[in-house]
Amino acid sequence: MTMVMVMMVCLTAANVARGQPKPGCSGSCGNLTNIPYPFGTSLECSFDETFVISCNDTTYQNGGHHKQAYFPNSFIPITNISLRDHELRVSGPIARDCYYADNEEYDRHAEVVMQTNSKFPVSSKRNVLVAIGCEAIGAIESPINYDALLNNANLSSSSVGRMRAGCLSLCSRVEEVKNGTCSGAGCCQISIADGVIDYSLMAENLFNHSDFNPCDYSFVVEVGAYRFSSLDLVDLQKRESFPVVLDWAVGNYQSCEQVNDSSSTACQSRHSECYNSTNGPGYRCKCLEGFQGNPYLVDGCQDINECEIRNLCVSQATCHNNVGGVECHCPKGHIGDGLTSGRGCILKDDKYLRFAIPMGFCLCLLAGLIGGLWIYWGLKRRRFMKLKEKFFRQNGGLLLQQQLSDHKGSIEMIKIFTAEELKRATKNYDESMVLGQGSFGTVYKGTLLDNKVVAIKKSKVCDKNQIETFINEMIVLSRVNHRNVVKLLGCCLETEVPLLVYEFITNGTLYSHIHDRSQDSCSALSWQMRLKIATEIAGALAYLHSETCIPIIHRDVKTANILLDEDYIAKMSDFGTSRLIPVDETQLTTLVRGTFGYLDPEYSQSSQLTEKSDVYSFGVVLVELLTAKQLREVADLASKCLRMRGEERPAMKDVTAELERIMNNLVN
Q: What angle do CA 488, 493, 494 make, to 5 degrees?
A: 140
Residue 235 bears catalytic tag? no
Annotate 513-568 with three-state secondary structure. HHHCCCCCHHHHCCHHHHHHHHHHHHHHHHHHHHHCCCCEECCCCCHHHEEECCCC
Between β-strands 488-492 and 415-416, what pairing exists: parallel, antiparallel or unpaired? parallel
Binning the chain into helix, strand and coil, the percentages to the nearest 5 are 30, 25, 40
Catalytic hit among 97, 556, 574, 614: 556
Find out whether 458 is annotated in a ligand binding site.
Answer: yes
Residues 613/603, Cβ–Cβ less than 8 Å = yes
Q: How big is the chain by its Cα radius of gyration, in Å?
A: 49
Give the number of other Cβ atoms within 10 Å of residue 623's Cβ. 14
Phi, psi torsion values for 235, nearest 5 degrees? -90, -10
Element (H, E) at 284: strand 283-287
For the chain, what's the residue count? 668
* CB 619, CB 635: distance < 8 Å: no
By three-state DSSP, how is residue 295 classified? Answer: coil
**Type and span of the H or E element at 143:** strand 136-145
Q: From residue 412, how far is each of 455, 478, 481, 540, 547 by CA, in Å?
A: 19, 6, 9, 18, 16
DSSP string, 343-376: ---EE---HHHHHHHHHHHHHHHHHHHHHHHHHH
Q: Is 102 helix (H, G, I), strand (E, B) or coil?
A: coil
Enumerate long-range contacts of 147-155, CB under 8 Å, 24 or more apart. Answer: 147/253, 148/118, 148/195, 148/253, 148/280, 148/281, 149/194, 149/195, 149/279, 149/280, 149/281, 151/253, 151/254, 151/255, 151/276, 151/277, 151/281, 151/282, 151/283, 152/253, 153/253, 153/254, 153/258, 155/253
In 3D, which of 540, 506, 504, 499 has the Cα closest to residue 414?
Answer: 499
Q: What are phi and psi of 229, to 5 degrees?
A: -135, 145
Give me the phi and psi of 529, to 5 degrees please: -70, -40
Report the C-alpha gap between 43 and 56 in whole angstroms: 15
CB atoms near residue 124 (< 10 Å): 18
Stated as kind and residue range, the H or E segment containing 109 is: strand 105-109
Q: Say how far apart CA 461 and CA 421 lie, in whole Å.
A: 21
Up-side HSE of residue 494: CA atoms within 13 Å toward CB? 12
Can you say which residues are annotated as belonging to the binding site? 458
Can you say which residues are annotated as belonging to the binding site for ATP? 458
What residues are annotated to the active site?
A: 556
